[in-house]
Structure 1
Amino acid sequence: MINKNFFRFVDEILDRQRITAKDVAYLQREILPDGIAFREEADVLIALDRAVKDQDASFADCLVAMVVDFVVWGERPTGIVRGEDAHWLVTSLGAGGGPTVNALRIGMEVVREAQQVDEVLLAFLLRGQGNRLRRALGVPVKAMPRRFAAA
């Protein structure tokens, strides 16, 4: 169960629409000193990344490290991201109009660190990278197929 301090922390950031270096230090030291323990915490932090555009650079590094550590080493079996775990991650990273830069970075780092990953995660990352390139070139982006899109 997620503690009330976590939600209070998130609410304050959403009210300010800004994540500072102090916020990141507080998150690591006081709110989640042992890292992410529940998928819901990961989901909320990923959503926070999507919702708050004014972020200190340290938030991206913190977010990526915490989510990768949880997904690869916190979930059982360790080092393996397959099946339902991969589908959950793809759904969380791709929600709200597609993956952010940090969401793609999380996915890439999971692939790099895990011993084994599901093909759904690989396909999602390839699609996400292709869409980023299309946007940069001004080419229309096709909708992500249902099986790879967020629920």
Structure 2
Amino acid sequence: MLKDQLRDFIDRATERGHVGNDDVAMLQDEILSDGIASRLEVESLLALDRIVTAGEGWGAALTRLVADFIVWKRAPYGVVGNDDALWLATLLEVSGPSPNATNIAYAILDEAGHVDVALLDFIMRGRQQARLSQMAA
């Protein structure tokens, strides 16, 4: 279930088509002060990320919130198992590996003691796509 405050935040940002730095501060300090609590919240925030423009603080805040949830709020702590890695990699892959999606994957890789290969595959596919894009340019 999505918290009412988070649903309202997403609805307002979607209507405006933008997440400003004041919105990011409210998200971190009030709405998700204890962090993300469910996969549905992750899915909703990543969907929002794909459809709005954002101030400079958005990417870092989204990355921290998602990485903290995946690494430290899912048992076993500090380990990203196959189920979570596959779910998240699939979610991050929607619309291609965006800069925020890539940053989230790397942040998880940096924080976790163990990361399942599904998330590593996402990172490698993104790196390969970036190389191919550079070669084509």
- TM-score, scaled to structure 2: 0.94
Number of the residue aligned with 1:149: none
Number of the residue aligned with 1:75: 74
Within the candidate set 100, 103, 110, 1:102 is matched to 100
Quick check: 2:82–2:117 contact (8 Å CA) kept in 1? no
Number of the residue aligned with 1:138: 136
- Name structure 1 gaps, 5 residues minimum: 140-151
Amino acid at match of 2:31: I
- Name structure 2 gaps, 5 residues minimum: none
Partners of 1:38 and 1:16 in 2: CA distance: 25
Amino acid at match of 2:26: Y
Deviation at 1:119, TM superposition (A): 0.9
Partners of 2:134 and 2:9 in 1: CA distance: 34
Instruction: Please give the root-mean-square deviation of Cα atoms over the aligned residues, in Å.
Output: 1.3
Number of the residue aligned with 1:57: 56
**Match status 1:18 vs 2:18:** yes
- TM-score, scaled to structure 1: 0.86
Count of aligned pairs: 137
Per the alignment, do residues 47 and 132 of structure 1 end up closer, same or farther by CA in structure 2, a change over 3 Å counting?
farther
Identity %: 39
Instruction: After superposition, give the CA deviation of every residue in 1:64-83 in whole Å (9 maximum; x if it has no partner).
Output: 01100000001000010011
